[in-house]
Structure 1
Amino acid sequence: MFFLFACLGNITYVVSILSVATGPRYLLVNSSWLAGSLGTLCEDFTIFAQFFIYKCDESDSESSFDDSEDQIEV
């Protein structure tokens, strides 16, 4: 939950900066904060993607152990 709330905090921070103004001068002044928040969000979404890609189901891990035990017994 902490990780999710950190993502939501960064999203709302970026939205709060962009909701004030979108002029080039204002964006240039706030570019360091925008880059920091958007960079952190990219890293957070990468971690989320890795979590779902490498998530191992219990049924998959049990079947792989069963197969390896069968090979050892033979």
Structure 2
Amino acid sequence: MSRQKADREEYGEKKDRVNISLTPTAQRLLDQQGAAMGISRSELIERLARGLISSNPEVRSLGGFCAN
């Protein structure tokens, strides 16, 4: 599955490049979650920060269940 190309002004503002430090496990988990949603790691973090998706596993599971 290919990821959607990021719209750098999708939220009404330009995105800036930032650097964060993550463990390899956190990187892998973000990549897996993003791939499952068809979005990049960066977009996943954006949506989590904006409260557009939950980091709660129960909410994610319910959301995935409801989406099917």
* Same fold at TM > 0.5: no
TM-score normalised to the size of structure 2? 0.26
TM-score normalised to the size of structure 1? 0.24
Choose between structure 1 and 2: higher helix proportion: 1
